[in-house]
Structure formats: structure tokens, C-alpha cells
Amino acid sequence: MRTYDHTSKAWATKFLTSQSDALVLAARPSNSYGTRFAIGEFAVHNRAGAACVVGIGGRLPASLWSAGLWDDSAYAAGTVFVDDTTDWQDAGTGDFLLGTTSTNNDGFLISCSVPFNIVSIVVGTAASGGSPAFSLHYSIESTDTGFSSNWGTISNPYVAPLFTSTGEQLIWFEPPTDWAAVTSTTAIINRHGDTVPSGYSILVKQTTAGSVSAGLGNIGVLGRMLLTMENVADNSVLNNIGGKELYLPPQCDALCAAISTANSQNRASVSWAYIG
């Protein structure tokens, strides 16, 4: 029988608002010869005052992903992606763009060497003016040209991208079964887009741009949720008491929960081991 460590703590953020190990349930042990987290019994308690999306999973290291601005006007004939990974991953205030003021279909792209399904973005300046709206896309495999042949649309995410408020905002979805990594062969004009980095990519477009200001972000954090449940009622618990172990991808360097509405009295309790 496996021996577990146990962590139980208030979970005050939606997912994570920095890469700090102080926020997570458990960080990868520095002196371990193991390769991944094994999750035993757990309970994530929603006390946010309303039904929420609730999940359990892990954090992905910043070294695995990149992000930057998408210039939609250059998709078919120019440099569509402008890397801004440094600003996405540091703690600067409002130092990366989530779109372009008054320009529909611009946005941002995130690329990771492994699949992910949750992104936390701390918004410093909200998109404003008019009715800003956003769409969510993912890279697919194709030999054809044109956006619809190379990018699928996620129309029913757990939490859709919306940046009309400041503070921590989530993008949360189930990884599509046909999600394919961008490669050097497909990172060209009128395919996935010139200069788009290799990896599993999501693209957020502002289908209706803010007429007063575009959204500006402070920091982004990526993760992989293994078990997600929507519409978990207030004061209810997501758990696997008596269930089988769950195994995080070996790339995850920390164990985390996620609750779509933040509350300082939400709670996560988990039994875990670092195995290999």
C-alpha cells in the first residue's frame, strides 16, 4: 500500500496568480528520484456562494510555454505572432496586451510543449468600451490553407475567455481530441501563422474589440486539470473518496486545485505521493 502525504488548506485563488510555490498544494520535492505526482483521495470544497467549476490537477513550469500578441491582419501574408513571453511570465503591471484597441480579431496566442487546459491571467487593465467579446481556438492538423482548416474552435469551455474585469481571470477547457501541435512546417503564413512557436497552441481572438482600451495582463500561469466538474453547488465538494489514483503528467511541477469563483474560504484537501 502506498504511503501518502496529506495537505489541506484554504484555496483563495481561482487557480494560481503566480509561479510561487507558496500558493500550491504541494511542489515537486527537490530531493526526490520520482517522476510525477500521484493523487489519492481528495476533496475540493466550494464555499464561493454560488455554483462553480471545480477541478484538481497541476501547474506547468514557465519553461514549457510561450505567449504573445496575435496580429490577425498578418495571418495570410505576414508575421502574425509577436512574442512577449517575458512579460507574460514576470510580475509586471499591465505589461502585455490581450488584444488591440478597436481592432477586431486581434488577440493572443499561448503555446506549450505539452497539452494544457487551464490558464490563469491576472488582468491589470480591463478591456472596455462597447461590448468586448472573445473567441477561443486551438491548433489542428491540416495540409490545407486558411484559418478554419488550421484552427478549431472551442465553443463550450468550462470558463470562456473574458477580460472586461480586472483581477484573476481563467480560460478553462477540456483538451480537444484533435488538438495537434504546431510544427516548424505549419508555422507559416496562411497555415498556423508565420512565427507561431512550435507546440500545443490556443488562440484567443477579440471578436469585438474594446473601443476605449484593450485588456492588459500582469502575469499568466498554465496548468493541467485532470478532473473537472462544472456546476458544483455552493457548499458542495468535488472528491474521489474511495476512488482510484490519478497521475499528473510528469511535466507538472506542483499539485493544485481550481475553483472558478475565488473565495478566501474555499478549501482543498488532498492525499498525494511523488512517485517514479
d(CA 184, CA 56): 33
In this structure, are residues 39 and 57 in contact, taking their beta carbons and an 8 Å threshold?
no
In angstroms, the CA 145 to CA 16 distance is 37
pLDDT at 90: 96
Structure confidence at residue 31 (pLDDT): 85
What domains can you pick out in the chain, each with its CATH number? 5-60+222-275 (2.60.120), 64-220 (2.60.120)
Predicted local distance difference test score (pLDDT) of residue 243: 85
For position 1, what pLDDT does the model report? Answer: 72
Q: What is the pLDDT of residue 33?
A: 87
- Regions of the chain short of the pLDDT cut 70: none
Cell of 154: 472551442
Instruction: Annotate 109-139 with b (16+ C-beta within 10 A) or e (fewer).
Output: bbbbbbbbbbbbbbbbbbbbeeebbbbbbbb
Q: How far apart are CA 101 and CA 85, in angstroms?
A: 21
What is the per-residue pLDDT across 13-43, written as a single tens digit (0 to 9) for each? Answer: 999 999 999 999 999 998 888 999 999 999 9
Q: Please give the model's pTM, rounded to 2 decimal places.
A: 0.97
